[in-house]
Amino acid sequence: MDLLDLDRQLFAIINQNAFHNPVLDRLMIVVSSHSLWVALLLLALIRATISKDRELWRLIALVIIAVAVSDSFCAYALKPWVARWRPCHELAAVVLPGGRCGGMYGFPSNHAANAGAVVAVLAQFAHLVRRRWIVAAASAALLVALSRVWLGVHYPADVGAGLLLGVIAGSAVAASFKMWRGERA
């Protein structure tokens, strides 16, 4: 058995399981929704505006930059180069609770990369963020990764690579900012 076979088997275990039900399926759709993340960003912007906290504004800007970097790199550089089909385009027996498959290629997962980038930036600025928020963000990133496989649009390796690339992108953005400010990265 090679790694691709193992990836397909893990996909089948997660996507084609007995736990699919309307409540869990809807939860996974919501977790994968861009609307949820935009709403969280708006809440952070409102808090930053009310508190007039410059460090929070910087943190929000860094998160946005890190997500833009990870999203662009995955979508425009890696996906066309790797050209790995999504499971919903490649396999016959895929459960698609969301009813949509997405673009042709799935490696790496942009959703997972973006979530990983957010976690990395928050972790790099742990002195500004309560630990529970970093833990919540990391838990949410793992849930996003799981949701993409659950919804049938990514293989486990797609989301694993996405998380890793997002953490690298977020760490690079945070380190670059710290170096620019003359801080130790």
Question: For residue 156, what are the domain limits?
Answer: 21-180
Query: Per the domain annotation, does 5 fall within a domain?
Result: no
Q: What is the pLDDT of residues 106-142, one digit of tens each?
A: 999 999 999 999 999 999 998 888 889 899 999 999 9
Query: Per the domain annotation, does 35 fall within a domain?
Result: yes
Q: What is the pLDDT of residues 31-77, one digit of tens each?
A: 999 888 888 889 889 988 999 889 899 999 999 999 999 999 999 99
pTM over 0.75: yes
Query: Per the domain annotation, does 16 fall within a domain?
Result: no
For the residues 94-117, what does the mean pLDDT come to? Answer: 92
Phi-psi region of 76 (alpha: psi -120 to 50; beta: other; left: phi over 0): alpha
Query: Per the domain annotation, does 2 fall within a domain?
Result: no
CA distance 123 to 118: 9
Query: Per the domain annotation, does 162 fall within a domain?
Result: yes
Any bridge partners for residue 105, and if so which? 85
Q: Compute φ and ψ for 27, nearest 5 degrees.
A: -60, -45
Q: Into how many domains does the chain fold?
A: 1
Is the distance from CB of 93 to CB of 74 less than 8 angstroms?
A: no
Nearest to 95 by CA among 146, 23, 143, 153: 153
Any bridge partners for residue 85, and if so which? 105
